[in-house]
C-alpha cells in the first residue's frame, strides 16, 4: 500500500502514481489498484495529469507487512534478496559489520519503486490530502518556510540587496547576494550551488558528473560521523591534512597504526587518554603529542565532556584506508584495507 498525494498544482519535481480500478482486495472504500508509476513529467504532462484526475504524487510512503515485502523482493530482485539474507545470517556475529559493508558495496543503488513497486502485482494506492510536501528539493522550501517581503527564503549568514523570489542558504561563511530573481544559492562546507529555480531538479546531473569524474565530493562530507564522534576536514593540501576530531565522553578510537603518515594532536577541550606505542598518558587542553608513522596508537575520552582535538597529518598518503586496526569497540578491526593501498615509494 502506498499513499498518493492529491496534487494541487502541476508539479514537475515529483513522480506520479496513476490509480486504476477500485481494489477489491482491500476490503475498504477509497483504495485503488496501482495502474502505473509515472516518472517526473514535463510541465505540459503535469498539467494534463492534474486536469485528467486519477494521478497522485508519489509520496514514497508505504505500508506493508515485512514478510510480504521480503516475498516481493525475492520475486522481483533476487540479488537484493540474497544480500539481505546474507546480512540476516550474520547479525550478532563478529563478521556482522564486515558482511554488511561487503553486501552494500556489491548491490545496485536502486529505489524500492524501481526494484519492487513498479513490478509487483500487489500494489494499491490510497489518495491522501495530509498537507504533505516532499522537502527533497530546494524549491520545496518555498512551501514550508517563511518568506520576506520580497518573497525570498533566507537562512544563515546572508546579506541580500534587492533580490526577489529567491532561496539563499548559508552556513558559516558570509554569502552576499545582489539583485537575484528566481535563483537558488546554497553554500555549505562541502560545496556551493547556484542555479535557476526552474532547474533545481538538475542537481542530480551534477552528482552524475561528479561520479563520472570519480570525485569524492558526492561520497564524503567535510564532517564525517563515526561511532565514537566525528571529524571535520579543515584543510587538505600536498602531504598534509588538518582535522578537528570530536570524541564523545566514554568512547575511544580503535587501537591502530598508519604506514604512510604521522599525526600531531593538540587538545582544545577535554582530556585525552593517549596510547602511543608502549606508553599511555593524559594530554590536557593546550598540550600536544606526536604519533610517529607505523606506531600503534589510540585516543580515548574518559571524561564527562566532548574531547576536541586538532589533528595535523603529514605523509605521502593521507586517505582513510591507511588504517590497520588491532582492537576496536565497534568490531571494525577485520576491515583493514591496507592490502588495497597503492605501493608508494619515498620519491612519490
Query: Cα dihedral sign for 280, 285, 287, 291?
Result: positive
pLDDT top residue among 11 and 1? 1
Is 112 within 8 Å of 61 (Cβ atoms)? Answer: no
Give dist(CA 249, CA 42) in Å, integer.
52
Find the CATH number of the domain harbouring 314: 2.60.120.10
Instruction: List alpha helices for the chain, DSSP H.
Output: 43-52, 66-76, 78-90, 96-106, 112, 141-144, 203-212
Does residue 298 belong to any structural domain of this protein?
Answer: yes
Shared domain check, 321 and 230: yes
Residue range 64-90: mean pLDDT, rounded = 94
Give the span between the Cα atoms of 79 and 236, in whole angstroms.
Answer: 39
Q: State what percent of residues in the chain have pLDDT above 90.
A: 64
Specify whether 192 is located in the same domain as 256. Answer: no
Q: Is the pLDDT of residue 332 over 80?
A: no
Instruction: Write the DSSP symbol of residue 252.
Output: B
Give the pLDDT score at 348: 36
Span 208-220, average pLDDT: 78
Residues 57 and 92 in one domain: no
Residue span of the structural domain in which 103 resides: 66-114
Q: How confident is the model at residue 341 (pLDDT cuts 50, 70, 90)?
A: very low
Instruction: Look at residue 214 and tell me if it is in a domain.
Output: no
The answer to the question of residue 347 being in a domain is no
Q: Is the CB of residue 311 less than 8 Å from the CB of residue 245? A: yes
The reply to whether 272 and 256 lie within a common domain is: yes
SS3 131: coil
* DSSP classification of residue 126: E
Report the C-alpha dihedral over residues 183, 186, 187, 192, rounded to 10 degrees: -80
Name which residue leads in pLDDT, 300 or 220: 300
* pLDDT, tens only, 83-118: 999 999 999 888 888 889 889 889 988 888 889 999
Q: Fill in the DSSP letter of residue 282.
A: E
Overall average pLDDT of the 195-209 stretch? 85
The helix/strand/coil state of 136 is coil
**pLDDT at residue 71 above 50?**
yes
**Pair (72, 38) in one structural domain:** no
Q: Please say if the pLDDT value at position 340 is more than 50.
A: no
**Residues 6+ positions from 279 with CB-CB distance below 8 Å:** none
| Residue 344 domain-assigned (yes or no) | no
- Tell me the per-residue pLDDT of 118-149, one tens digit each, with 9 for 90 and over: 999 999 999 998 888 777 677 778 877 899 99
231-253 confidence digits (pLDDT tens): 999 999 999 999 999 999 999 99
pLDDT at 333: 61
Is residue 208 in a domain?
no
- Looking at the structure, tell me whether residues 162 and 259 fall in a common domain: no
Range 297-301 average pLDDT: 97
| pLDDT reported for residue 222 | 81
Specify whether 324 is located in the same domain as 310.
yes
Number of domains in the chain: 4
Residue 254 lies in a domain: yes
Q: How confident is the model over 155-200, as pLDDT tens digits?
A: 999 999 999 999 999 988 999 999 999 999 999 888 899 999 988 8
Q: What 3-state DSSP class applies to 268?
A: strand
d(CA 252, CA 105): 27
Same-domain check for residues 43 and 79: no
56 and 83, same domain (yes or no): no
User: Do 233 and 309 share a structural domain?
Assistant: yes
pLDDT tier at 261, thresholds 50, 70, 90:
very high
What is the rounded average pLDDT of the residues 221-238? 91
Residues 227 and 145 in one domain: no
Average pLDDT, the chain: 89
* The C-alpha cell that represents 289 in the structure block: 603529542
323 and 269 within one domain: yes
Residues of the chain with pLDDT > 70: what percent? 93
Residue 266, pLDDT score: 98
Phi, psi of 245 (to 5 degrees): -100, 135
Distances (CA, A) of 151 to 165, 168, 181, 183: 4, 11, 10, 12
Residue 347 pLDDT exceeds 90: no
In a domain, 216, yes or no: no
Check: CB of residue 171 under 8 Å from CB of residue 157. Answer: yes
Q: Is residue 336 part of a domain?
A: no
Amino acid at each position: 500500500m502506498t499513499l498518493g498525494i492529491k496534487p494541487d498544482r502541476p508539479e514537475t519535481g515529483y513522480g506520479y502514481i496513476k490509480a486504476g480500478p477500485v481494489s477489491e482486495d482491500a476490503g475498504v472504500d477509497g483504495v485503488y489498484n496501482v495502474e502505473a508509476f509515472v516518472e517526473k513529467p514535463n510541465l505540459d504532462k503535469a498539467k494534463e495529469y492534474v486536469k485528467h484526475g486519477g494521478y497522485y504524487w508519489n509520496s514514497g510512503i508505504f505500508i506493508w507487512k515485512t514478510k510480504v515485502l521480503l516475498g516481493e523482493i525475492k520475486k522481483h530482485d533476487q540479488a537484493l534478496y540474497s544480500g539481505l539474507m546474507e546480512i540476516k545470517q550474520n547479525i550478532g556475529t563478529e563478521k556482522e559489520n564486515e558482511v554488511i559493508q561487503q553486501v552494500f558495496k556489491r548491490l545496485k543503488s536502486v529505489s524500492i519503486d524501481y526494484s519492487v513497486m513498479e513490478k509487483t502485482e500487489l500494489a494499491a494506492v490510497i489518495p491522501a490530502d495530509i498537507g504533505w510536501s516532499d522537502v527533497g528539493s530546494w524549491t520545496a522550501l518555498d512551501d514550508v518556510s517563511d518568506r520576506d517581503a520580497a518573497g525570498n527564503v533566507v537562512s544563515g549568514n546572508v546579506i541580500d540587496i534587492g533580490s526577489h523570489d529567491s532561496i539563499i542558504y548559508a552556513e558559516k561563511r558570509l554569502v552576499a547576494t545582489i539583485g537575484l530573481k528566481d535563483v537558488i544559492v546554497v553554500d555549505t562546507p562541502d560545496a556551493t550551488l547556484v542555479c535557476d529555480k526552474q532547474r533545481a531538479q538538475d542537481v542530480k546531473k551534477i552528482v552524475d558528473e561528479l561520479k563520472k569524474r570519480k570525485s569524492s565530493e558526492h561520497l564524503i562530507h567535510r564532517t564525517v560521523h563515526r561511532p565514537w564522534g566525528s571529524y571535520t576536514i579543515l584543510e587538505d593540501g600536498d602531504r598534509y591534512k588538518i582535522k578537528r576530531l570530536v570524541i564523545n565522553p566514554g568512547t575511544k578510537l580503535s587501537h591502530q597504526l598508519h604506514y604512510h603518515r604521522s599525526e600531531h594532536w593538540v587538545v582544545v577541550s577535554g582530556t585525552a587518554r593517549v596510547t602511543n606505542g608502549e606508553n599511555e598518558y593524559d594530554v590536557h587542553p593546550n598540550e600536544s603529542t606526536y604519533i610517529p608513522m607505523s606506531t600503534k596508537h589510540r585516543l580515548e575520552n574518559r571524561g564527562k565532556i566532548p574531547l576536541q582535538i586538532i589533528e595535523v597529518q603529514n605523509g605521502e598518503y593521507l586517505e582513510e584506508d591507511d588504517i590497520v586496526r588491532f582492537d576496536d569497540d565497534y568490531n571494525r578491526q577485520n576491515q583493514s584495507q591496507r592490502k588495497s593501498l597503492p605501493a608508494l615509494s619515498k620519491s612519490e
